[in-house]
């Protein structure tokens, strides 16, 4: 294919496609929440997804200098996210902040459910969160690192706008860390578009403000530190690997399903001795469990609720349940086994294989 710099028509596409995407993403942000108009939102989702792939394609073939390309990628990514600051936060975010406020005020989100709280004497901001949250009859389902983090944030503000700013800070950190990984792997900055122009990512992170805004920076930092660790160190301290496993510990203290990334505990040298040397750095963040250890039965039951009821695979889950009934675990297990075998045979890049494996696990793991 000829250089896009030599084709004026393709240069025009470098301008028109991003503008079309930004128009579509603005309409998508205005259409939220998703349930308000599912068909219109679905149409905009597919439209922006296609436009985003087009932007990535034309930038990948462009002969722009890398510094200028990086500038345009970051500007377009920022503009794509900006309209979502004005979209309504998801009801999960009210619960996040409520549980942090409850803990600061002497409650235990793992043993007490919101519907048991009296509203008398409660601050106006906390009442608003209480009325806006979901599943008031359920205890907390996220890990103690997240509860303690939200407890600290409740000292700052319980209002929507400051929390949305915090989410956008997480979004910016995600892009920064992705850029670091791309440079580590000698990939062009345009690959950032595969995340920043993904409508699903825009809706659920900068849009609805889910806690992936805090999980993904930790995951990406763990991957980046893992990439920069020394594969020749087999039985000595490696600070990059220590930072990687520390991030894994923090991530696990937020959401249990991040267990699928635990293979990163094994260093690049594949040395079990080195893995054991760095294990304390993984365990350290789990000290956040200690403030909630008074009622371990209720606490661990609450955490187990998430692992039994996560919602990443509903469509496949219900399809297999509909076809196979109670024996749906059989095709699920077959799908996992075939998928893992193909990954082992076809993908030599360990980090890439890990992400494909995590995807398959979340896709085929049925609720129990």
Q: What is the pLDDT of residue 38?
A: 81
Q: What is the pLDDT of residue 2?
A: 44
Averaged pLDDT in 10-residue chunks for the chain of 368 residues: 53 87 94 80 92 92 88 94 93 92 89 82 88 86 91 94 96 94 91 93 93 94 90 82 93 85 83 88 89 71 65 66 82 85 86 83 64
Contact 247, 207 (CB under 8 A): no
SS3 120: coil
H and E: helices and strands count for the chain: 16, 0
CA gap 158, 253 in Å, rounded: 22
User: Tokens at residue 128, please?
Assistant: 């608003």
Q: What is the pLDDT of residue 267?
A: 84
Q: Determine which helix (DSSP H) or strand (DSSP E) holds 217, and give its type and residue range.
A: helix 212-228
The crossing angle, in degrees rounded to 10, of helices 66-81 and 8-31 is 20
Q: What is the pLDDT of residue 263?
A: 86
CA gap 243, 238 in Å, rounded: 9
Q: Which residues neighbour 288 within 8 Å (Cβ) at sequence distance 6 or greater?
A: 143, 144, 145, 148, 253
Q: What is the pLDDT of residue 334?
A: 87
Q: What is the pLDDT of residue 368?
A: 43
CA gap 47, 59 in Å, rounded: 18
């Amino acid at each position: 294919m000829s250089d896009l710099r030599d084709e004026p028509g393709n240069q025009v596409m470098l301008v028109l496609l991003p503008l079309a995407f930004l128009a579509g993403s603005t309409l998508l942000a205005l259409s939220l929440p998703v349930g308000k108009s599912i068909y219109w939102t679905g149409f905009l989702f597919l439209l922006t997804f296609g436009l985003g792939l087009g932007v990535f394609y034309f930038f990948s073939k462009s002969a722009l200098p890398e510094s200028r390309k990086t500038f345009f990628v970051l500007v377009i990514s920022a503009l794509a996210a900006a309209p979502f600051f004005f979209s309504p936060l998801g009801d999960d975010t009210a619960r996040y902040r409520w549980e942090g406020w409850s803990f600061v005020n002497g409650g235990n989100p793992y043993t007490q459910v919101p519907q048991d709280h009296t509203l008398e004497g409660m601050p106006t901001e906390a009442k608003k969160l209480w009325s806006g949250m979901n599943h008031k009859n359920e205890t907390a389902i996220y890990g103690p690192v997240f509860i303690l983090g939200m407890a600290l944030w409740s000292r700052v503000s319980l209002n929507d706008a400051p929390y949305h700013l915090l989410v956008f800070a997480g979004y910016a950190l995600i892009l920064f860390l992705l850029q670091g990984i791309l440079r580590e792997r000698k990939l062009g900055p345009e690959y950032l578009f595969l995340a920043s122009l993904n409508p699903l990512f825009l809706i659920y992170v900068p849009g609805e403000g889910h806690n992936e805004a805090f999980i993904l920076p930790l995951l990406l930092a763990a991957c980046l530190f893992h990439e920069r660790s020394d594969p020749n160190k087999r039985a000595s301290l490696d600070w990059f690997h220590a930072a990687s496993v520390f991030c894994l510990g923090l991530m696990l203290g937020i959401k249990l399903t991040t267990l699928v990334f635990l293979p990163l505990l094994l260093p690049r040298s594949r040395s079990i001795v080195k893995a054991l040397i760095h294990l304390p750095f993984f365990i350290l963040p789990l000290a956040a469990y200690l403030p909630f250890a008074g009622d371990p039965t209720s606490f661990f039951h609450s955490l187990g609720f998430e692992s039994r009821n996560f919602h990443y695979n509903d469509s496949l889950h219900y399809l297999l349940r509909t076809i196979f009934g109670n024996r749906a675990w059989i095709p699920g297990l077959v799908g996992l086994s075939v998928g893992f075998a193909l990954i082992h045979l076809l993908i030599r890049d360990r980090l890439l294989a890990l992400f494909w494996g995590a995807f398959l696990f979340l896709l085929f793991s049925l609720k129990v």
